[in-house]
């Protein structure tokens, strides 16, 4: 009987050891899966973030060049969408064209075009931005200052929702925003002389001369 009891004890010990090893392996596997998910998700977010920053630059550059043209905002939306084409995991929820202060933040009037994470995309159809009407509209292109020395600093901000490729539990999205600010291109050359510059001598009407 003692030999049989000893055999049963050994078999039970082996089963406990195998069960413990299986639990430890599953715990390590879960940790490894979470690590891989984190690397893929963060890597995808950082890669798409570069395209989003580029999109805000394209939007701000477009707004600065077009200045007071009536369809400036529509062109800004088109430039942002063109720069973000192919980003399947990014949904733009808001595009803001605003007058920026010295720190680049919204300090006054702005045109805000928004949608929801599950709503229609913000697009330019002809000369109109849809979905319409805009959430806020008190920075019309015709009101933007494009005079030399006092031109507006115009900013374009893009709010977006990023959907992780491998969602963690029930939370699989990340909301963020980026912006770029540029000065509006002036419409004329400055008329105020540069301090210290020599005053050019006017030419007689019958003589062609060169003024350095």
pLDDT digits 0-9 by tens, 5-39 = 565 565 555 555 666 777 777 888 888 887 887 78
Cα–Cα distance, 186 to 136 (Å, whole number): 26
Beta carbons of 48 and 87 less than 8 angstroms apart: yes
Sorted by where each begins, the domain ranges of the chain are 30-183
Strand pairing report for 90-100 and 153-168: antiparallel
Report, as an integer, the average pLDDT of 106-135: 92
Q: Where does the pLDDT of residue 62 fall: very low under 50, low under 70, confident under 90, or very high at 90 and above?
A: very high
Cα dihedral 47, 51, 54, 55, rounded to 10, equals: -150
Cis peptide before 130 (omega within 30 of 0): no
pLDDT digits 0-9 by tens, 136-145 = 999 999 999 9
Closest CA to 136 of 102, 99, 185, 176: 99
Backbone region of residue 78 per phi and psi (left: phi > 0; alpha: psi in -120 to 50; beta: other values): alpha
- Residue 138 is predicted with a pLDDT of 94
Neighbours of 172 (CB within 10 A): 13
- Residue 27 is predicted with a pLDDT of 83
**Both tokens of residue 166?**
């491998």
- Residue 212 is predicted with a pLDDT of 47
This model's pTM is above 0.85: no
């Amino acid at each position: 009987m003692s030999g049989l009891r000893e055999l049963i004890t050994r078999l039970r010990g082996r089963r406990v050891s195998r069960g413990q090893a299986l639990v430890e392996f599953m715990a390590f596997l879960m940790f490894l899966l979470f690590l891989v998910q984190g690397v893929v998700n963060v890597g995808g977010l950082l890669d798409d973030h570069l395209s989003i920053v580029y999109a805000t630059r394209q939007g701000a550059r477009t707004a600065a060049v077009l200045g007071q043209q009536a369809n400036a905002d529509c062109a800004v939306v088109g430039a942002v969408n063109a720069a973000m084409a192919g980003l399947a995991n990014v949904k733009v929820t808001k595009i803001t064209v605003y007058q920026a202060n010295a720190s680049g933040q919204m300090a006054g009037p702005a045109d805000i075009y928004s949608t929801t994470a599950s709503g229609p995309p913000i697009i330019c159809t002809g000369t109109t931005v849809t979905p319409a009407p805009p959430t806020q509209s008190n920075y019309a292109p015709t009101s933007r200052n494009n005079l030399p020395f006092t031109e507006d600093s115009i900013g374009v901000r893009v709010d977006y929702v990023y959907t992780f490729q491998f969602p963690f539990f029930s939370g699989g999205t990340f909301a963020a925003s980026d912006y770029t600010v540029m000065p509006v291109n002036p419409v004329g050359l400055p008329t105020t002389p540069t301090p210290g510059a020599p005053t050019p001598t006017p030419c007689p009407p019958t003589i062609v001369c060169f003024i350095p």
